[in-house]
Structure 1
Amino acid sequence: MLARQRQERILDEVRAHGGVRISDLVDLLDVSDMTVRRDIEQLSARGLVERVHGGAAAVGGRSAEEPGFVAKSALAQQQKQAIARAAARLISPGETVAMSAGTTTLAVAQELLAVPDLTVVTNSPPVADLMHDPGRPDRTVILVGGVRTPSNALVGPVAVAALRTLHVDTLILGIHGMTERAGLTTPNLVEGETDRALVEAARRVLVVADHSKWGVIGLSTIADLADVDVLVSDAGLTSTARESLSAVVGSLVIADDEDIHEDGGDA
């Protein structure tokens, strides 16, 4: 196996699992310890992985680093649009839907404006503002309280206490990162606690996450991948990631190009 092929395989393993041990790579690639270390050094020099003691980890920023809402709004816009349209098709009229904060869930909220007779529970002021319409008596919007985070979420004990009294049909959950080992994660400890309360309140957990979230690990775990009933992502998700996710989550939905270009939009 050529060095380039080995390094591509190492990258696949890191992206699939968030990190990989040198000992596991030695067995997988059937090469020496020194060869694996040299490959990791070269990948690290190119900024593709992070060298850690005994192996390599995904490059995804610090685990407690939290981009702001405005910064995230400019990322992967077409993918988020496609994911939003695919996710909205999974929501039926008459449902009670919880929505976490985030730019992808806000995109889903835009698509849900066309779905009648919804009750929406959210800790996202932008989602609540978008969906509140005095002229739509068939739609009820409930905004929980709390302290605002950089991702424009209301979190903390007030939000958690409110959510623990509620029961919803479907949670539409946005995340910071996901790996097999760490599950669904966020860089904000308090937001992680609030998101866990959202998960516990839901009969069905629907995660919306573009392909860049795979291999990224935040400081706090929200839930295991096995707790996900449906995960909606985009066509950029690698085949290795798709195999790993399909083996664990209830259902993996990949939004297609038609969801991006429908109605001529490129949001």
Structure 2
Amino acid sequence: MLASQRRSVILELVEESGAVKVSDLVERLGVSDMTIRRDIERLSTDGLLERVHGGALALGDTRSSEEPGFSAKSLLQRAQKQAIARAAAQRVEVGAAIGISAGTTTYELARAVKDIPKLTVVTNSVPVAQLLHESGAPGQTVVLTGGVRTPSDALVGPVAVSSLRSLHVDLLFLGAHGVDDRTGLTTPNLVESETNRALVSSARHVCLLADSSKWGTVGLSTFADLGDIDLFVTDDAFPERARAAVREAVGSLEIAEA
């Protein structure tokens, strides 16, 4: 296959699913990891997609007001997300009341804690609620907020906010579309931003789960400052400059080995 044909296939796959992983492209196209990375870099330079750690995103998904779907985001940084989730899950004790926000990294957190008995889990994530309903340990209680469903399978809006005002959790596991030392935690969805603020307000302690690719990404709306976070768990590709900025603002930074 010629390079131009290969790049056309890559672009078609990205536009179809919203995101692709380098490892999947290597297997599908039968070429080396470095070849795929060069193809992605060329397509990125041409303004046809966005190159991210471990893969590529469709160009529409990079705008500050556009929101990728849950399935598309699930394809990227899976190993990093799982490592972050395993590290964060060590903070969860039997019988605790925890909150889990919508997102793909927080979904991995739900997978990591599903076998802990007697948990009470408050969530606005449809996939998280479904996972724990189907395979959660005995004695677990799942409280799913109502609301309007977003492309990322979050339930948001006035109904969700109203239900969260009367709830209180020991520890909230929070995801974000983007994290930046200047803009804080952001999302492309204004209504989801309001709901995330309500989640933060419901928690005694807040743990942010964000892989290294989220640093420097800025969505349309800020829903929390770095100073609102008690614990930030990320992966070992997190930049050194970012680590210094986070340590100044956040209670604690934990680096998970991916």
TM range (shorter): 0.7 to 0.9
Q: Does the C-alpha gap of structure 1 residues 253 and 65 become closer, same or farther in structure 2, counting only changes over 3 Å?
A: same
Partners of 2:98 and 2:115 in 1: how far apart?
A: 14
Tell me the residue number matched to 1:154: 155
Aligned amino acid, residue 224 of structure 1: D
* Structure 1 residues 67-86: aligned runs within 5 Å: 67-86=68-87
Worse-matched range after superposition: 205-214 or 62-71: 62-71
Partners of 2:191 and 2:86 in 1: how far apart?
A: 29
Say if 2:208 is the partner of 1:187. Answer: no
Alpha-carbon deviations, 1:214-262, whole Å to 9, x = none? 00000011100000000100001011111111111110010014xxxxx
* Structure 1 residues 250-261: aligned runs within 5 Å: 250-257=251-258
Say if 2:215 is the partner of 1:220. Answer: no
Aligned with 1:121: secondary structure? strand
Aligned with 1:247: secondary structure? helix
Partners of 1:136 and 1:111 in 2: how far apart?
A: 11
Aligned with 2:201: secondary structure? helix
Tell me the residue number matched to 1:132: 133
Partners of 2:105 and 2:146 in 1: how far apart?
A: 21
Partners of 2:197 and 2:136 in 1: how far apart?
A: 33
> What RMSD in Å do the two structures reach over aligned CA positions?
2.0
Q: How many residues align?
A: 203
Q: How far 1:134 sits from its partner (Å)?
A: 8.6
Q: How far 1:114 sits from its partner (Å)?
A: 2.1
Worse-matched range after superposition: 153-162 or 85-94: 85-94
Q: Does the C-alpha gap of structure 1 residues 179 and 131 become closer, same or farther in structure 2, counting only changes over 3 Å?
A: same
Tell me the residue number matched to 2:197: 196
Q: How far 1:133 sits from its partner (Å)?
A: 4.8
Aligned amino acid, residue 213 of structure 1: K
Name structure 1 gaps, 5 residues minimum: 1-43, 48-59, 258-267
Question: Which structure has the bigger radius of gyration?
Answer: 1
Q: How far 1:72 sits from its partner (Å)?
A: 0.2
Q: How far 1:61 sits from its partner (Å)?
A: 2.3
Name structure 2 gaps, 5 residues minimum: 1-43, 48-60
* Structure 1 residues 1-267: aligned runs within 5 Å: 61-133=62-134, 136-257=137-258
Q: How far 1:136 sits from its partner (Å)?
A: 4.3
Partners of 2:46 and 2:224 in 1: how far apart?
A: 32
TM-score (ref. length: structure 1)? 0.73
TM-score (ref. length: structure 2)? 0.75
